[in-house]
Amino acid sequence: MKTVLITGCSSGYGLETARHFHMHGWRVIATMRTPREDLLPRSDRLRVLPLDITKPASITKLLEAAGPIDVLVNNAGIGLASAFEATPMETVRDVFETNTFGTIAMAQAVIPHFRERGAGTIVNVTSSAVLAPIPLVAVYTASKLAVEGFSASLALELQPFGVRVKVVEPGYGPTTRFTANGQTRMEGLFPGPYGALAQQFFGAQPEAVTVELDVAQAVLRAATDESNQLRFPAGPDAVALARSAHNGLLLVR
């Protein structure tokens, strides 16, 4: 029986992914900054542990408690929509600290164990924002594009050691708490000159679609995939964007 460690499981994609892996017979280590065991089924195959991916000591403590794992799912992330001109650099750094550096830190922490064993998979969750330019999410997109480039290079670097790296690209899913969690961070970041653009863009967004299960299924496919496929779009809009943007060519490294 294999073990998966998933970051950011308090809501949205991470929570659904933890449930999905458990349903398919995996041992699951679900992590959150503030653990809530009531969110997931009680099971001897499921543990909820604390983790703040921006703190090295928290990562070390988690991995000591978790023991050997077969798959790492880097799902934890924060959202940000803003006019870049009005976005404080402190906010930019906060987004990168979690979305980019937190993901990289988790990968670096597990790689020695995977390499020594000659097996293991790292699944990095990014966004469909990397597939086509979108206004008012420049910082968020940059943080996720950095992970895409990191993952593509790392996949080749670790291939000789039997370690796989995959990327899951979720589509637009406003029914998750992901967008809501960023509201405080976004206050005051749409000054007057950008009001019309914000109204035009956000007013044109598609009707809310639940994509959590699509993402969970894509993560499981990525975690068990033995081919050279790198990218796994998840959700109808992400799949459509991937096909139109790359015509299928960049889904495989």
For residue 122, give the H/E element and its range. Answer: strand 120-125
CA dist., res. 129 & res. 172, Å (int): 9
Contact criterion met (CB below 8 Å) for 234 and 35: no
Q: What are φ and ψ of residue 175, in 5° steps?
A: -75, -10
CB neighbourhood size of 33 (10 A): 15
Helices (H), 163-211: 177-180, 183-186, 195-203
Type of residue found at 41: P
What is the largest distance, in Å, between two alpha-carbon atoms of the chain? 56
Task: Please name every residue paired with 31 in a beta bridge, in sequence order, or none if there are none.
Answer: 49
How many C-beta neighbours within 10 Å does residue 218 have? 27
Q: Which residues are identified as catalytic?
A: 140
Task: Report CA 74 to chain centroid distance, whole Å.
Answer: 5
